Structure 1
Amino acid sequence: MSSQPPWSDVFGHAEPYPEQAEGIDAAIEAADEGGFLALEGACGTGKTMLALTAGIDRVRDPDSPFERVFVLTSVKQQLRQFEEDLQTINENLPEDHRRVSGITLVGKADVCPYARENRGGIDVGNVYERCEGLRDRTRSLVGDGGSTTAESLAASARSQQIGLADSGGSTGANGTGGADFLTVDDEPTPYRPDTEEHEGVEYCPFYAGFLADLPEDGEPAEAVPFDATDRGHVDAAELVRLAAGAGSCPHSVMGALVPELEVVIGNYYHAFDPTTTGSFTGALLDESTFVVCDEAHMLEPRVRDLVSDGVADRSLRDAIDELTRVVQPVRFDEEGQYTDEADVVRGELADSDVAIEDVERVREFYEALRGELDRRVTEHLDRELPDWRADPDRLDDAELPLRDPDSPGVDAITEWADANGYGDRVWARAPAVGAVVERILRELEGEDAQRAAPGVGRTLNAWYREDHETFFRAIDLERTWDETEPPDDWRRVYNARFALFNCLPSRAIGERLGEFGGGVLMSATLEPMDVFREVTGLDHLAESGRPVLERTHGLAFPPENRESLAVDVPKYTHDNRGAPGEETETRLAHLDATLEVARRPGNVLVGMPNYAEAEWMAGELDDRLEKPVLIDESSGDHVTESLKDDFFAGDGKVLVTSLRGTLTEGVDYRGDRLRAAVVCGVPIINTARPRTRAVVAAYDERFGDGFETALTVPAVRKARQAVGRVIRGADERGVRVLLDARYARDSWNGVREYLPEHERAEFQPVSPDMLGVALDRFERAE
C-alpha cells in the first residue's frame, strides 16, 4: 500500500480526486519556490478544498516560512464554500491535531454592536463616519497622559450601566440588566444601549474596552478577550457575541486577529484596495502569507475597478469649502479679527511642510477646475441636446472622453491646467494640503465627518502623475435628481465626476501578488493560459524568478453523463439580430434552438449577452412553453436569492438571465437543480463606450491584439462559466449548449480556439436540425 502524502491529514475527505491530488502537489511545489500555481479546474472538481489543503499544509509544516492562508474571492457563494470546506477539514482532522483557526473579514456595519441594533445614533448608513469619529475622540481622551485612561473610560461605562440597574432599571430574566444593557443578537453586553460621555466628550465604550486590553508593549492580538486559536472558524455572528459580550470592539478585535489566525477569508478589495490594505489588512501582505485567488478569471476586471479612481463634482465643492474654513481664520486674524482658531491653524501648519499660501493656491485650483467642469458639461449638453433644460428627463448617463480613446495622449484637463498656470507644484502639493486640512478641521470642529480634501488631493495628484497609455481620463455623468440645484443647472440632473480609469491593471496585480510568499490562482475558466498570465502580471513575476506552474483539469466525471453541443446558428451579434421584437433570421434561429432545449424535463438556465436580450428571450419562451419562465433582472442580492429559491423549488422551470449577471458564476446548481444550460451568442461588451475603446488601445500597445485579449477572451470565459453550472458531481447528468456559429466554426472571428483543448473535443459542432436528434439520443441513453 502506498504511503499517504503529508497533506492528507488536513484534506477534509477520505480520498481526493486524482486531479485534486495533482493540484495540491503542484501548489505546494510552487509555493516552496516562492511561486504560484495557475489552476483551471472544471466546476465541481474540488478546487476550494485543494487550495485550502495546500495552504494549510504549508502553514503547519515547521520547515515552511508560511504562517497563514489568505483567501480572496469575488463571489459570496464561493466565500461560503471556503467556510464550509474549512469546517469540513476541522471535523475530519486526526484526534491529535488542533483545529485550524480562521476568520472571515466583514465590514464595520456587520459587526458594530450599535449598528447591528440601530442604537446610539448609529446605523448601517452612518456607521463608518460615526465609528471613525468615536474612535478619534476615544483616543484623544486617553492620549494626553492625564488621569483619564482607557481602563477608566470602560469602567465608567460599566458602572453607568450598573448604576441604572441599581436605581430601578429593568432586569432581564438572566439578571443581566434587560433593557438597560445593549443586547446584540440576544447576547448581553456590559454597556448601556447608547454611547457614553466623559466631560462632555462622546466616546465608544467598546473601543475603550479594546484599548484598555491593549498591552503596553505587546502585540494587538493580546487584547483579544477570547482564545481564537482553537475555535476553528469564527464567523461574524460569533465574533460579535464573543467580543461585544466581553465589552470589546468586534471590528478592532477582528483586525487584531487578522495576522494571528491560520486562514483569513476575504474579498479582492482586502488585498488590492489601497485604503483597506493601508488601514486593515496590510499585515497580511508579506512573504509569510500563502494567497488563494479564487474566481481568478475576474481578478483583472475587479482589480481594474479597485485601482481606478475619480473626483466627483460634489467632492470638489466640499474640498473647496474645507480649504476655505482653514484659510479664513488666518486671513481674518491678519485683518485684525482675531480668533483662537487662527492659532490652531498656524500651529498645525507649522508642524507640517504646508504653508497657508499652498492651501490658498490649491483652493484656487479646485475652484477653477470646477468651473472648467461646468463649462465642459454645459457645452456637451448644449451640443448634443440643445433643449435639454426644458426636458431633463431625456438625459441619460454619459461619458465625455478627455482624449481620443483609440490613441493614447495627454488629456484635455491636464493641458487646460498647464495653459492656465496650474503646473507641477499645485498638483504635487494637493495631497499634503488635504491631509493637513483634515487634521485642522478635526481639531477645530471635532465632528463625525468624512473630509473630502484628502481624497481629492490624492486622486488629483495621481491624475497628473500617472501615464496616459495605461490610464484613461474622462468625465462621467451619472443620472440623479437634486431639487436643491437650480432648474436650468445640469447639477440638478447629473452627478459629474473626473474619472481616472486604469485600463491595464496587470502591473498593479503583479506587484501585489509579488508581495505574497506564493499561492494559487484558480478558476473554472482561466484558459487561454498565456493571456491570463499576461493580464494578471504573472509573466512579470516569472521573469523576476518567481516560478509559475500551470494546470488545466477538465471534468473527471463520466463523459456519458453529459451532452455538450456547439450549434451552428447565425452569429448573435448586434448587427445580425436586430432590435428586440424584430423577427430576424438570427433571432428566430436562436429562439428555436433554445426552445428545443427548454422543452425538455428539468430546470434550464438560458444565458443572454445582456439584460435587454434576456427580457426579450424570456418573453418569447413564456409565450411558447408550458413550464414556468423566470426572468432575472439587474437587482440586489435579496431579490436574486429569492429568484434562485423559486427556480430550485418544485418542478422544472426556465431561468433567463444576462451572462454578465450573478447567476451564471459562482452559484452551485448541484444535484437536480439544473438539467441544462444554453448560451446565446458571445457576450462581448459594447465597444462604443470610450473607456472600452481605451482598454482595447492599451492592450494593443502592450500585447498586440487588444480586442482579443481585452474583450473576446473574457467573453468566452463568461459563456464557459454559464455552461459549467450544469455538471457538479459524478452522478449528475445534463446538457450544455453553446448557440452561435463562432463556437462551432474555426472562422476568422470564431472563438472555438479560446476553448481549452478538452472542451473543444467535447463541444462537437452540430447543425440546428441535428440538435433535437442529439438531445433525443442523450435522453434515451439515460
Structure 2
Amino acid sequence: MTWESVFGHAEPYPEQAAGIETAIETADDGGFVVLEGACGTGKTMLALTAGIDRVRDPDSDYERVVVLTSVKQQLRQFEDDLRTINDNLPDDWRPVSGLTLVGKADVCPYSRERVAGIDEKNVYDRCEGLRERTRNLVGDGGDTTAASLVSQARSAQTGLADSSSSGPDYLETAGDPTPYLPEMPEYGDTEFCPFYAQFLDDLPEDGDPIEAVPFDFDSQGLIEPDDLVSLSAGFGTCPHSMMGAVLSHVEVVVGNYYHAFDPTTASTFTGALLDDSTFLVCDEAHMLEPRVRDLVSDAVGDVSLRDAESELTRVIQPVEFEDDGAKSTGAQTMDAQLVRAELEESDVTLSELKELRSFVRDLREELDRRVTAHLDHVQPDWRADLTQLDDHELPLRDPEVPATDEITEWAGEEGYDGGVWARAEIIGSTVARILNSAEEEDKKRVTPGVGRVLGEWYRQDHERYFREIELERTWDETQPPDSWRRAYNARLALHNCVPSDAIGDRLAEFGGGVLMSATLEPLDVFRRVSGLDYLEEEGRPVVERTFGLGFPEENRASFAVDAPKFTYGNRGSPGEDNETRRVYADSVAEVARRPGNVLVGMPSYGEAEWIASVLRERLDKPVLVDESSDDVATESLKTDFFGGQDKVLVTSLRGTLTEGVDYRGDRLSAAVVCGVPIINTASPRTKALVTAYDREFGSDGSAAGRGTGGGGGGGGSRSGFETALTVPAVRKARQAIGRVIRGSDEVGVRVFVDGRYARESWNSVREYLPEEEREEFRPVSPDMLSFALDRFWDGEASL
C-alpha cells in the first residue's frame, strides 16, 4: 500500500505530498516533524494521512493515531477529514475506525437528559458514587450479581409496561430508547447505575474490556459522542465505560490536550495510548506551551482548605469521642472502628491526621492575615465597598529573584517540618476512603486535592516554580459583610513557569508524529520551550518544515502600517483623545469601510470596546463586539457575523474568535491587528515567568541575558522576555491575520497596525515573522494606507 491510497482527495498540494512523506520517514525513525503551514494548506489531511498510513502498514510498529488539539473547531476539522478519508478509501478496504474523546457529562444518559438528579454540574461526583455502590453490591459475596441488578432494572420497566396502557416510560437519549426508567433504580435502600451494572455483567473476569463491547466498532468508521451513546445506551450499557474499552483498539483517537498532558486524566483514562505504538498529531501546537503550563501548575483555594479541615475533623472526632470515654451512639462507635481499621491499613496515624488539621487551620489563618494586610495597604477603605475591589496577585517572593517562598518559611517557623507537607496527599487519600465508606453522599472529597498541592508546594524548586496568593473576584453572601472572603476567592498558587520538561517527557512516550500550527515560527523557540531539543539530544530526530501560502499572490494585499507603538505609554486609556489613538482609529476605519466582512483584533477587550465605538460613528456597516463570554454567546455572535450584510467584528486577540475559527469563502475580506498583544508585564507572575526563561534559556543559563523585547535573532540565545512574551504575542497576532486567505479562490487584505511590525528597531517584532511574511507585509505609512487599499480593491498591482 502507499499513502496515496489513504489520502482523502484526488491530488495533494505539492508541499502536502512532501510533508506526508517527511512525516512517514521521520516517524519510522522515532522522531517528530515540526510543521508550520499557513491556513488552508491541508495540514490536517497531511497529518492524518501519514499517521493512518503507518497504522495500516503491516511492517510498521504503529497501532493508532492520537490527535490532540486545543480548539473545538479544529477537532471538528479532524473528524471531517477522517470521514473524507473513509469515503474515498479503496472499495476493498475497511473504514478507518475512530473515536472522539469527551467527558462524562457528554455521554452519561442521565446527565444528557438531566434526569435522576444528575446534570453536567454533579455528574462526576454522582457517577463515582453510583459506580462504587454498584461494585460494592456485586462484590459483597451474596446473591447479588451484576446480572441480577440489570434484571431488576429491566423488570421495573416491564412492570411499568404491564400497568400502563400508554406503554413504558423509557429513558431516551441520542434519539434512541434505553431499557431503563428515567429514575435511578435501587437495590434495597442502595442506588445503583443499571448502565454500569450491565457493563460489569458483560466484563470478562480476566479478559480485555473490549470483549464487553456489544457493537462492532471496527465497521463504524468514526464514532462521535452521539454515536457512542446511541450504540451503548441502546444495549443498556455504560457509554463512558465503552469509550474506555474501545479507546486503545480504534485506529484514530481525537481529543484535547488535557487527555495527554493533564496528570490525572492521562494516568487514569488515556494511559493506554501513551506508548511508542502511538503516532501523535499535536494540532495548534503554538498553544502547547501555555496550555500545558496551566495543566501542570496547581492551586489550592481558601474554601478547599476550610472544607479539608472539616473533613479531617469528621474523621478524627469519632476516635476522640471513644478515647475520651464519652457516651456515643452506635453509629459513632462504628465510625471509630472504621477509622481505626482504615488508619491501620493505610499506615497513617491519628496524630498525623491531627497535625494536618492544625496545619490547614493555621494556613487559613495565615492566608487571612496576609490578604487583610495587603488590602489594608493598597486600599485602606476597602471594607466600605467590597464591590469595588479588583483582582490581585500577592507574590510570596521577589518574582525576579528565585528564593524560598514566604509561606514555606512561615511553616518552618511555626514548627511544621517537611513531614506534614510530604505526607499530606497520602493522609488526604485515607480521609477520602473513610468518608466514602461512612457517608452516603456522592461528593468529591477535597482533602486529597489539598494534600496533593501541599506536597507539590514542598517538593518543587523555586527557580522554575513561582508561588503566590491570587485574589479573584467573586461574591459569597454567606460571608460577613466586612470580610474579604465575601468578595474574593483566594488561592495559594504554584505556577510551573517552564513546562518544557513536562512537555518533552510526555512527547517522549509517543512513538513519533507531527506537531503543527499555522504559527510556530521562530522554530528554534518552539523547539526549546516544548522540550523537543531534549528529545533530539536523546537521539530522536526532529525535522522542521515550513509551508507558506501557496495561493495566488495577486489575491491578497498585506500591509504593516508604520504607526506609533500601541503601548499604554503612547495611547493612554481608551477614553483619551491623542495622536496615537487617532492614527489607529483612522487606519482601522480605512480597512473596515471597504467591501466585505472585516475582523479587527485588539490587545484587550477594553480596547475592542473603544475601537468599536469609533467604527460605529464612522461606518455604515454594523459593528459587532465580542466579549469575554461563554461558548453559546460566541457561537451566536459568529452566526450574526456570517449572515446577511457586510459587518465588522471586533474582538480581543486573546479571545476565541481569532484562532481555529474557519472564515472560509466570502466570510472574511480583511483582518486588521492593532498592536502587539503582550500580556501584562507588571504582573508578578509575568515577571517570574520572564526570569525563569532567562535562567533556563539565556546565553549563560542565568538572568544576565535579560532583555526588554527585541533582538536575539536566528537560532542563538534569546532573552526571557522574547521567549516568554514577545514570541507568543506575535503568534497571536499572526493567528488573527491568517483567518483571511484560506483557499486558492479567496481574496482579501491583511493589515498589521503598529510600527514594530513595519520596521527594524530595538523593539521590533518583524524578525519574528517568517521570512516569506516579512517579504509580503510591506511597510506603509498611515497616510498612504487608503491609497494602497484602493489600488488593491480596484484591481491594480499591489505595492
Per the normalisation by structure 1, the TM-score is 0.97
Q: Runs of 5+ in structure 2 lacking a partner? A: 699-718
Shift of 1:773: 2.1
Q: Does residue 714 in structure 1 map to residue 728 in structure 2?
A: yes
CA RMSD of aligned residues (A): 1.1
Q: How does 1:73-472 map to 2 (within 5 A)?
A: 73-168=69-164, 170-171=166-167, 177=168, 179=169, 181-337=170-326, 339-472=333-466
Q: For residues 147-196 of structure 1, what are the alpha-carbon distances to aligned partners after superposition, in whole Å with 9 as ceiling and x for unaligned?
A: 2111111111111111121123631xxxxx3x2x1111331111111111
Q: CA deviation at 1:388?
A: 1.6
Cα distance in 1 for partners of 2:482, 2:730 equals 46
**Cα deviation digits, residues 703-759 of structure 1 (max 9, x gap):** 121110001001111111111000010111111111111111110000110000111
Q: In structure 1, how many angstroms separate the alpha carbons of the residues matched to 2:227 and 2:782?
A: 55
In structure 2, distance between residues paired with 1:388 and 1:334: 47
CA distance in 2, matches of 1:394, 1:545: 56
Q: What SS is found at the alignment partner of 1:389?
A: helix
Quote the offset at 1:769 in angstroms.
2.3
2:736 aligned counterpart, secondary structure: helix
Match of 1:527 in 2: 521
CA distance in 2, matches of 1:7, 1:259: 23
Counterpart-to-counterpart distance in 1, 2:731 and 2:379: 39
Report the secondary structure of 2:355's partner residue: helix
- Pairing 1:753–2:755 present: no
Report the Cα offset of residue 569 of structure 1: 1.1
State which drifts further: 162-171 or 342-351. 162-171
Q: What is the alpha-carbon distance in structure 2 between the residues aligned to residue 623 and residue 407 of structure 1?
A: 49
d(CA) in 2 for partners of 1:745, 1:404: 35
Q: What does 1:694-713 correspond to in 2, within 5 Å?
A: 694-704=688-698, 705-713=719-727
- SS across alignment from 2:20: helix
Distance in 2 between residues matched to 1:335 and 1:10, nearest whole Å: 74
**Secondary structure, counterpart of 1:400 in structure 2:** strand
Q: 1:617, CA displacement in angstroms? A: 0.3
1:521-670, aligned counterparts within 5 Å?
A: 521-670=515-664
Which of 728, 745, 763 in structure 1 is aligned with 2:742? 728
Corresponding position: 1:71 with 2:67: yes
> Are 1:36 and 2:32 matched, yes or no?
yes
Residue 174 of structure 1 is matched in structure 2 by: none
Deviation at 1:774, TM superposition (A): 1.8
Letter of the 2:762 counterpart: W
Instruction: Give the residue type in structure 2 aligned to 1:110.
Output: D
Partners of 2:561 and 2:380 lie apart in 1 by 48
SS state at 2:370 partner:
helix
Question: How many Å separate the matches in 2 of 1:669 and 1:620?
Answer: 24
Letter of the aligned partner of 1:330 in structure 2? V
Q: Give 2:730's aligned amino acid.
A: V
Q: CA deviation at 1:145?
A: 2.7
Between the aligned partners of 2:630 and 2:319, the Cα distance in structure 1 is 49
Q: Note the alpha carbon deviations across 1:456-477, whole angstroms, 9 max, x for none.
A: 0011000000011111101111
Q: Tell me by how many angstroms 1:288 deviates.
A: 0.9
Look up the SS of the partner of 1:38 in the other structure.
Answer: strand
Pick aligned residue for 1:477 from 471, 490, 494: 471
Partners of 2:164 and 2:673 lie apart in 1 by 67
SS in 1 for 2:666: coil
Which string of whole-angstrom CA distances, capped at 9 and with x for unpartnered residues, describes residues 408-447 of structure 1? 1110000001111111111111011001111111111132
- What amino acid does structure 1 have at the position aligned with 2:136? S
Query: 1:68 deviation in Å?
Result: 0.6
1:778 is the counterpart of 2:792: yes
Q: Map residues 3-18 of structure 1 onto 2, 5 A cutoff.
A: 6-18=2-14
| Letter matched to residue 760 of structure 2 | D
Structure 1 portions without partners, runs of 5+: 172-176
- Tell me the SS of whatever aligns to 1:229: helix
Partner letter of residue 728 of structure 1? R
- In 2 relative to 1, CA 389–769 (structure 1 residues): closer, same or farther, beyond 3 Å? closer
For 2:618 and 2:786, locate their aligned partners in 1 and report how far apart those are by CA, in whole Å: 17
Q: State which drifts further: 520-529 or 340-349.
A: 340-349
- SS of alignment partner, residue 49 of structure 1: helix
1:691 aligns with 2:685: yes
Q: Please give the TM-score of this superposition, normalised by the length of structure 2.
A: 0.95
SS of the residue aligned with 1:566? strand
Tell me the secondary structure at the aligned position of residue 552 of structure 1: strand
Deviations 1:460-505 (A, max 9, x none): 0000000111111011111111121112221111111101111111
3-state SS of 1:82 partner: helix
Distance 1:703 1:137 in 2: 51
Deviation, structure 1 residue 81 = 0.4
Distance 1:609 1:479 in 2: 22
2:444 match: secondary structure: coil
Aligned residue identity for 1:431: E
Structure 1's consecutive aligned runs of 4 or more residues displaced over 6 angstroms after TM superposition are none
Per the alignment, in what secondary structure is the counterpart of residue 69 of structure 1? strand
| Identical-residue share of aligned pairs (%) | 70
Partners of 2:655 and 2:481 lie apart in 1 by: 36
Bigger shift: residues 383-392 or 311-320 = 383-392
**Match of 2:505?**
511
Give the counterpart of 1:55 among 45, 51, 58. Answer: 51
Q: Deviations over 1:569-593 (max 9, x none)?
A: 1111111111112221111111111
Shift of the 169–511 alpha-carbon distance from structure 1 to 2, 3 Å rule, reads farther
Q: Name the residue aligned to 2:716.
A: none
Residue type of the alignment partner of 2:324: E
Q: Which amino acid aligns with 1:424?
A: G
Code of the residue aligned with 2:178 in structure 1: it is T
Q: Deviations over 1:56-91 (max 9, x none)?
A: 111111111111111110111001000000000000
Match of 2:739, SS? Answer: coil
User: Distance between the aligned counterparts of 1:305 and 1:329, measured in 2?
Assistant: 39
Q: Measure how far apart 1:364 and its partner are.
A: 1.0
**Residue type of the partner of 1:303?**
V
Distance in 2 of aligned mates of 1:595 and 1:488: 48
Q: C-alpha separation between the residues in 2 aligned to 1:652 and 1:487?
A: 50
Q: Residues 581 and 485 of structure 1: is their aligned pair in 2 closer, same or farther, counting only changes over 3 Å?
A: closer
